[in-house]
Structure 1
């Protein structure tokens, strides 16, 4: 070939990369000065403290404006911008910083530029007084296909003073070869059987997880914790001039409402915002008492016309509280129906408790939610918390349901009606054919209370608490095996938090008391990877069977990094516990495994009530990769409880009248039913995550594969130790849009699709942004 032609060809091939290398990839790096509309693509981020973040029109380098951050009290904040980048590439980030009186407190760095959550990708930090100073850092993107650039003030601690940032630049230095996708499986090399308990679930008295999600009660504050007409109450009075809250002989709690009427002032109380389905039947009841000549009815309104309601009149009310049952058929579908308790005549009516449920409820639980929970088929459910448990008195949740006291939720927003207590939770476990895992209050709770709770759960009727359980309708003990001793006691947010040295002793005291009641329980202690877990294992190993860990992942810029953070963090936790086993002499001969009893993604707006974040296709990919990591470390992870099951960062989401499986829930459902149980040594390229596992009788090999890219991939398959017949099945959860999601009212575009496979070659075709679970038949040898 002519040498000049070759040089020209090479130059043409390199031209696009060369041009890209010279291009500043940061949008609006002049912070609006180059755009007539003064566009600003930078947003603010706050990790701690308080700062003032402004666009300063009076100063710049060399031109105005610049971005300013100032704080008098201390801040760890940033101006941030998310930028798409190439994976496996090297970039340079540069900029100019000016500071005035910047002082670091604690572990703070000062004023600097950095790439969020990318180790080492940070410039030198400036403190004190500095004129405009040039800073720069070169970094590798690795798996990141998008990064968040920060103009950072504070940085891992609080800083005071003021800093300005200007003339930022991000340029590509080098694009490296991307590894070809491959999956290498050694079916001879297997690990310990994957515990079925890694498919566990966790429900907490928080937001709309139980009330408004699992439990079928439609009315809020049905026992009138709040005063009627108070801003925090869902109840409003109408007509009558007098609705008073009386603390004289209240039906339940601290007070009960009294509706006072006369011939000129009929009226009552009403709750709006109820969801109804046309033609559906609804059952309810009311505890009420009256004095004087009072007539009363309950009405359910489902429209604006006078006839758009169903009315249920009561027979003569009595001076003592009695229960009055009613039922309605909805004449229309609506999300803004109202239930009213109306009275006329002369006298007063006292209201005790009110209830309204769909008639298709299953012993108090929502039928639509229960159907989805049965699809999940989780083998264990953790309850009742979570932070909630550290302020929970289990006695509030036993006895006649309408007489259980309403309380302010001790850890979260809203009211705890105590409608769902031990009996209801155990009923739910029976309906779902699952095992209970009950957390004990070691925060504000006492050792005596914990001992009595376990006796209530597992004691015979010859014990005081077993006899009380029988009085409440359950003669036979439940024989609960899994007992969690506390929740997140390492955190200063936890009610009853105490220093680690004190808590390890407290843990041992609790366990001694619990095992005196039932020595067969499986004790799960509170862990937090690092010094807390290490100390608990050192000081409490003879008083625990397993140790808990919790992990939540935030949103990461870019699909690949967002997904891969999940297995990477679980791998670090597993390795830390292997290190504890090597270092701690008292762990020799013991097999204390991890119960990762809270794990999930946690970010985004609260669409479904308190902490009710929505999940997307990209989160489903991460959950599948997390399940792969549990399988890769089957010798370390005994249990994992997805947190939480319904609405609150949930696998299932509900509206007032419908329920849907989230994308993450689809992954849990699919793997629970179809992933094998004997993990095989599996290696993949960095743009895939996979795990192979034999089914129980080794008649088929399953391969779970995550493609965390928006492009289809053809993965080379290398298999040792098995001879495939060529036939099989594949289940697919996929969408080209990483933000695809399901919604109880808007529909479920993301589904599990099953296909037959007639031939398996040396490659696997992977759909973009997908979870694919292959089940490949094996030839008999």
Structure 2
């Protein structure tokens, strides 16, 4: 479509919109439309919600050339001998043992996941050990440093926090005397702010030690997660949280989470699927089922768990359900209780894998094969907990998959997954800024809405509902955020609310909040992006009666409060709305920006509504959003 045609279409959008609420509607806005993903991708966990401060803290991968030091670490001592061996290598006797491991029910074929670092001081004339630089610490904060260490002789190990020049902020000592791994910890106090501190672990004298894992966490954390990021997830109104994937679901083994966090082996990424490129292609297994459920409860979200149907057996998938939902009379429910979680988690929503049919997931990617496997697994899960709501996977819309997967699975899985990402604007050439902006924003209707309609038509069954559980602007994880993304997010949420009832969208999950869309995390702070601001605005519709819904205006009513959100998608023109007076104005906030380019943000200001007769006239500037709330004090 030419730029002229796009501009012509957007001129149509800029015609005055008359908002005419119907207060007798029986349609409510489901909280499940305001979902998000928490997949272990890129920097969502590592350098994102995880409070863990160290790189490669479990020594995954292969060592560096010559010195044998694990990636992300450096050697201390000119003649220190570092032995870096995988668990399978028994050529170095006990020195090759690893502390990290997988649970017994581990079937995946991965490499270089279970390592330990053995440090040998042959000569006794120097300090030996390992260190890591680039650690960011806050002034007057405490950090817990935890080590799993075994020794071949009684050894005093020094743990020091220093500046980049080696000046010591604080140094503590731990004594080890066991020939088996023992976990001990010290509390380190940072006396000043330093974005590039070092952590060193060392000992003196001849001897051998083996380090299985190292942890460095701020003393204040929530299940190993950053409290500031957790709070922002609450702020954007996440009501459904999908975990552990996405693609990562095919790399995850839930029973590993039953091990202590430092003992859980890292997971190697399959086929370079970008699930962990910022952490050397490995996920370090920081969040388990218990942590995830605690997070969901903390932010008020329903958990939505994706199983691994390729590498977990039907029995193991059913055991996961039993762990979450079983009582003390069941084997895995009893295990959960023994681990300190008395009440069942009551997880309702489960996905039978992710994106089967695309070819990048391991397993049977044919509709018949996937459908057969899904039925086998789903029935086992339902035997354990009959009240589950299951979601099937596939490359939808796709008639072949509908016939051979979605419909056969429909007897146990009433939800069918849909994913869609739209092309990102490059904004490389000034004379194409408007064209690229329109291309992206228009995809809400020409791609996402169109896919929903096509899928609804192909399913042709009202008992099958759509789980639109991945959507975003493409490569939102590799580029700076912008008002372009914010307008797209606002328009998508409008579309989802508008289409949920007529098109059978049961739930939806943006992909994904942390460091890939709504929340930006930096070492010393976290904040909402323009997309995050739009989630925070649109969450005001949750649970309200849907009184009015068109592309650029949605109105809901709840507890005698009328909430209206308005969008002007135009690149360069204003847009007028007429709104009937409902009652006293409580909120009238405008989110606007001078441009839509990278690094742009919405400025927020309160504006006074202009009453013209019995209606307000609102004139929105280009690419802006407005939130209006009016209170009906008479209650009618």
The correspondence of residues 582-593 of structure 1 with structure 2, limited to 5 A, is: 584=460, 587=461, 590-593=462-465
Look up the match of 1:599: 471
Q: 2:587 aligns with which of 723, 726, 729?
A: 729
How far apart are 1:199 and its partner, in Å? 0.8
**What is the CA-CA distance between 1:666 and the residue it aligns to?**
0.8
Contact 1:190 1:681 in 2 (8 A): no
Deviation at 1:714, TM superposition (A): 4.3
8 Å contact from structure 2 (residues 398, 458) kept in 1: no
Aligned residue for 2:104? Answer: none
User: Could you say which residue in structure 1 is the equivalent of 2:99?
Assistant: 251
User: 1:525, 1:544 within 8 Å by CA — same for their partners in 2?
Assistant: yes
Please say if 1:235 is aligned against 2:235: no
| Residue in 1 that maps onto 2:55 | 220
Q: 1:12 maps to what in 2?
A: none
Q: SS of the counterpart of 1:390?
A: helix
- Counterpart position of 1:275: 136
CA 1:754–1:446 in 2, change beyond 3 Å: closer, same or farther?
Answer: farther
CA contact (8 A) 1:662 1:741 kept: no
CA drift of 1:671 comes to: 0.9
TM-score norm. by structure 1 comes to: 0.70
How much has 1:762 moved relative to structure 2? 5.0
Residue in structure 2 matched with residue 200 of structure 1 by the alignment: 35
Q: Structure 1 residue 416: deviation in Å?
A: 2.2
Match of residue 87 from structure 1? none
- Give the 3 Å change call, closer, same or farther, for CA 285–238 of structure 1 in structure 2: same
For residue 552 of structure 2, give the secondary structure of its aligned residue in structure 1.
Answer: strand
Q: Conserved in 2, the CA contact under 8 Å of 1:184 and 1:682?
A: no
Structure with the larger helix share: 2
RMSD of Structure 2 on Structure 1 (CA) = 2.7
Of the three residues 400, 414, 422, the one matched with 2:289 is 422
Say whether the 8 Å CA contact 1:181–1:713 is kept in structure 2: no
SS of the residue corresponding to residue 142 of structure 1 reads helix
Residues 316 and 479 of structure 1: CA distance in aligned 2, closer, same or farther (over 3 Å): closer
15, 18, 21: which is aligned to 1:187? 21
CA offsets 1:27-76 (integer angstroms, 9 cap, x no match): xxxxxxxxxxxxxxxxxxxxxxxxxxxxxxxxxxxxxxxxxxxxxxxxxx
**Offset of 1:758 from its aligned partner?**
6.6
Contact 1:727 1:776 in 2 (8 A): yes
Distance 1:418-1:675 versus aligned 2 partners, 3 A rule: closer
Contact 2:593 2:603 in 1 (8 A): no
3-state DSSP class of the match of 1:403?
A: coil
- Which runs of 5 or more structure 2 residues have no equivalent in the other structure? 88-93, 102-113, 426-434
1:18 alignment partner in structure 2: none
| Aligned partners of 1:646 and 1:654 also within 8 Å | yes
Residues 369, 654 of structure 1: 8 Å contact kept: yes
Q: 1:532 to 1:359 in 2, by over 3 A?
A: farther
Q: Equivalents in 1 of 2:582, 2:245: separation in Å? A: 46
CA shift digits 1:366-402 (9 cap, x unpaired): 1221221121231111100011112321111212222
Q: CA deviation at 1:142?
A: 2.1
Q: Report the 3-state secondary structure (helix = DSSP H, G, I; strand = E; otherwise coil) of the residue aligned with 1:295.
A: strand
Contact 1:302 1:331 survives alignment (8 Å): no
Q: Is the 8 A contact 2:81 2:120 kept in 1?
A: yes
Deviation per CA, 1:492-512: give whole Å up to 9, x if none: 111214211222222222221
Q: TM-score, normalised by structure 2?
A: 0.85
Instruction: Kindly state the Cα deviation for residue 270 of structure 1 after the two structures are TM-superposed.
Output: 0.9
Tell me: CA distance 1:614–1:755, structure 2 relative to 1, closer, same or farther (3 Å).
same
CA contact (8 A) 1:728 1:757 kept: no
Distance in 2, matches of 1:623 and 1:259, equals 51
Determine the C-alpha separation between the residues in 2 that align with 1:639 and 1:458. Answer: 22
- What is the correspondence of 1:492-507 to structure 2 with a 5 Å cutoff? 492-507=359-374
Looking at structure 2, the residues matched to 407 and 603 of structure 1 have their Cα atoms a distance apart, in angstroms, of: 23
| Other structure's SS at 2:375 match | helix
Q: CA deviation at 1:681?
A: 4.2
Matched, 1:472 2:339: yes
Structure label with greater radius of gyration: 1
Equivalent of residue 705 in structure 1, options 539, 544, 566: 566
Other-structure match for 1:772:
626
Q: Does 1:563 align with 2:441?
A: yes
Residue 390 of structure 1 contacts residue 445 of structure 1 at CA under 8 Å; is this kept in 2? no
Shift of 1:342: 1.0
Mapped partners of 2:378, 2:511: distance in 1: 25
1:693 maps to which residue?
A: 555
Q: Which has the higher strand share?
A: 1
For residues 374-413 of structure 1, the aligned pairs below 5 Å read 374-410=234-270, 411=273, 412-413=275-276
The CA deviation at 1:408 is: 1.2
Distance 1:779 1:460 in 2: 47
Q: Separation in 2 of the partners of 1:574 and 1:680?
A: 22
> Which stretches in structure 1 are left out of the alignment for 5+ residues?
1-117, 119-138, 146-174, 605-610, 684-688, 743-748
Q: What whole-Å deviation, never above 9, does each CA across 1:645-669 have from its counterpart, x for those lacking one?
A: 211x231121223212111011011
**Alignment check: 8 A CA contact 2:585 2:630 kept:** yes
Q: Deviation of residue 213 (structure 1)?
A: 0.9
Q: Report whether the alignment pairs 1:741 with 2:599.
A: yes
Shift of 1:438: 0.4
With over 3 angstroms needed to count, the CA separation of the structure-2 counterparts of 1:770 and 1:534, relative to structure 1, is same
2:225 is the counterpart of 1:365:
yes
- The correspondence for 1:573, drawn from 425, 429, 451, is 451
Partner of 1:614: 480
In structure 1, what is the equivalent of residue 196 of structure 2?
336
Where 2:467 maps in the other structure, the secondary structure is strand
Residue in 2 aligned with 1:672? 539
What count of residue pairs does the alignment treat as equivalent?
586
In the alignment, is the contact (CA less than 8 A) between 2:466 and 2:506 conserved in 1? yes
Give the 3-state SS of the residue equivalent to 1:645 in structure 2.
coil
Distance (whole Å) between structure 2 residues aligned to residue 428 and residue 727 of structure 1: 35
d(CA) in 1 for partners of 2:583 and 2:124?
Answer: 85
